[in-house]
């Protein structure tokens, strides 16, 4: 398992320390890996789909989570890929909006 972010190496180190990340953590400020995965960076009216974003924010706040200082590209959407050692994609989830997350049970089943 590994994590890929899009901030600077210093931001990645801070993230790893702040959240006690114990898996390999990489950073791709060029976002080429995001592009290769087909993960989008919405612009224009797609960026303004605030309904689902606000809903996710309220859900997170109710769960005790707070937005910290944004690092990296705040508009780049991410996702989850589970890839086996031979390079076959076993699971893929591409975030549609901010706050969109893959189903954890589905990720674990793929692992």
pLDDT, tens digit, for every residue of 27-49?
Answer: 999 999 999 999 988 765 555 55
pLDDT, residue 44, reads 58
Residue with tokens 């769960």: 63
Which run of H or E residues covers position 27?
Answer: strand 25-27
pLDDT, residue 15, reads 87
Is the pTM higher than 0.85? no
Phi, psi of 95 (to 5 degrees): -60, 135
pLDDT, residue 26, reads 93
Q: How far apart are CA 43 and CA 37, in angstroms?
A: 18
Q: What is the pLDDT of residues 39-93, one digit of tens each?
A: 988 765 555 555 666 676 677 678 777 666 767 787 888 899 999 999 999 999 9
Q: How far apart are CA 4 and CA 75, in angstroms?
A: 15
Mean pLDDT of 88-111: 90
pLDDT, residue 93, reads 94
């Amino acid at each position: 398992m590994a994590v890929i972010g899009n901030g600077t190496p210093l931001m990645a180190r801070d993230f790893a320390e702040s959240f006690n990340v114990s898996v390999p953590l990489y950073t791709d400020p060029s976002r080429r890996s995001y592009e290769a995965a087909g993960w989008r960076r919405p612009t224009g009216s797609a960026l303004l789909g605030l309904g689902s974003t606000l809903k996710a924010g309220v859900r997170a706040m109710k769960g005790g989570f707070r937005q910290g200082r944004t690092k990296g590209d705040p508009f780049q959407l991410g996702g989850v890929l589970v890839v086996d050692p031979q390079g076959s994609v076993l699971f893929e989830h591409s975030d549609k909006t901010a706050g969109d997350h893959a189903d954890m049970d589905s990720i674990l089943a793929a692992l």
